[in-house]
Amino acid sequence: MAASKCSALMTFFLCISLISPALVQSAFQFKHHSNEELATILEEVHFRCPNITKVYALSENSVAGNPLLLIEFSGEPGYHELLEPEFKYIANMHGNEVLGRELLLKMADYLCEQYIAGNESIRSLIHSTRIHLMPSMNPDGWEMASAVGGDNYLVGRTNNNSVDLNRDFPDLDRLLYAEEDERSIRNNHLMDQIRHLDHPPQPETLAVMRMILEQPFVASANLHGGDLVANYPFDESRDKDGSDESPSPDDDTFRHLALSYASMHPRMSDPNQPSCDDTSSSGFGKQGGITNGAAWYSVEGGMQDFNYLSSNDFEITLELGCEKYPKAERLAQEWEDNKDALINLIWQSHIGVKGEVKDAITGRPLGNAVITTRNVTRLNETHARKDLVKHDVTSAQGGDYWRLLTPGEYEITASVRNYLPLTKRVLVTNPRHQQAFIMNFELHSATNQGQRTWEWDDDVPLDYVVEDLGEDFDKNVDEIPFNREGNWPQDMEEFDLGLKDNVGDYNHLKYKWFPSPNRR
């Protein structure tokens, strides 16, 4: 297996090293590019923009041995820069849904072209964001679909083992719903609870899982075809036998992400846009071009929800049109229809707040700090919200964190085991296409100060942990008095949420869940 993978990668990099200067300068063609042409385009972009790009392959090849290629855009390609959010697009997960594949190839060309041309907005985006583009997660399926002319609605959907990759991820939704029923305190990074999976993931799935768990992605989207809508979590219904709306704790933020794409697309949010399935006279446009995934239909083992529940990544799903395999002559117009929306969604990785969590004395960065959020937006002059967002994010190894939020007032708490937690208030405004507000935390050690720190193995009911904010808070009311002077009870600063050991740190347990699947 190792030899076959090495051979495939060596062949790929040997081929791209032989690209002629004439090809490097060739104009992008709107067509359906083969897997070999896909690799060539990525390398052509890299040769044109070597200082801001890097082409790389994931840890596994496809079942048929095709490398799973990405191109990265960044001011320091190959490295995570402190406080710089990471964003990814993944397309062609279903091999016969090909528009996203061609859009990402053109996007790579466009980002490089505009950077060279001096487009200040694009240059700012690249230097403030680490962008990963994966044109094809299922190159084998693409080959099968293309071999029959792209006219079959099902051929090529699965990988070369006949597995639907968007049903192949660990079903963390069901684990979360069980935790909710048991009123557990765990609400994020659920893979750390997994000891065994019920099936070995396909190599394409495994490779993407590893990428998700290794990189500190903040936001992302996977690109599909077959309808025209921006879909947001949860994809899996809480009712196993139905398709009821299943909002996530970050429903406001996910709706914003979906709308940020749909509203920039000329047809997706058009209320007069007809339905793709011929069962109704109108499509999703009447609801702004967005939908909760489970309200549409329930998906178990999908990539979108896996991102949100296994990492800090807020992912949505983009259905780009009724035609899964549009004719080549349609591609140029599809690019024009989607270009601004694709760029705008990347900018959304900068909404909310970001910052560093450090030791107040030594300045040492504190990775795996738990960032807890409470919405305290004022409702009127005398009352404010008190909504705990029951989904925490964690800081990266360098101590930097990102918390995507919609406009409003929030209490943000940073907590690390054996440190005193610290809560700060922030007003989020999200100015368009600007970096997030920076809010740093310097935490003091609690070791010698007699402070109680929660042991996460303790059987502590969720209500007690998240509501233990002093007598000024009443669990049974929806609104709490707001102090006109802008102050909250002092015991808010002393609330200790604690931190489960090694939350978000997967280096010590890499891929303990399963062996690497065999490849043909």
The catalytic residues are 319
Query: CA–CA separation, 308 vs 220, rounded Å?
Result: 10
Do 139 and 62 meet the contact criterion of CB atoms below 8 Å apart? Answer: yes
DSSP string, 102-146: HHHHHHHHHHHHHHHHT-HHHHHHHHH-EEEEES-S-HHHHHHHH
Cross-strand partners of 221: 89, 316
Do 56 and 80 meet the contact criterion of CB atoms below 8 Å apart? Answer: no
For tokens 């495939």, name the residue: 8
Do 512 and 191 meet the contact criterion of CB atoms below 8 Å apart? Answer: no
| Backbone phi and psi for residue 348, each to the nearest 5 degrees, phi listed first | -70, -10
Query: CA–CA separation, 148 vs 142, rounded Å?
Result: 10
Where are any strands of DSSP class E within 146-282? 217-224, 227-232
CB atoms within 10 A of CB 195: 8
Tokens of 261: 């794409």
Residue 209: helix, strand or coil by DSSP? helix
Tell me the pairing of strands 217-224 and 67-73.
Answer: unpaired
Angle at 214 between CA 212 and CA 216, to 5 degrees: 75
Tokens of 518: 């065999």
Residues 6+ apart with CB under 8 A from 393: 188, 312, 370, 371, 401, 402, 403
Do 502 and 187 meet the contact criterion of CB atoms below 8 Å apart? Answer: no
Do 475 and 399 meet the contact criterion of CB atoms below 8 Å apart? Answer: no
Do 446 and 420 meet the contact criterion of CB atoms below 8 Å apart? Answer: yes
Comparing CA positions, the residue from 202, 123, 102 lying closest to residue 160 is 202
Using a 10 angstrom Cβ sphere, with 0-12 exposed, 13-18 middle and 19 or more buried, the burial of residue 75 is middle
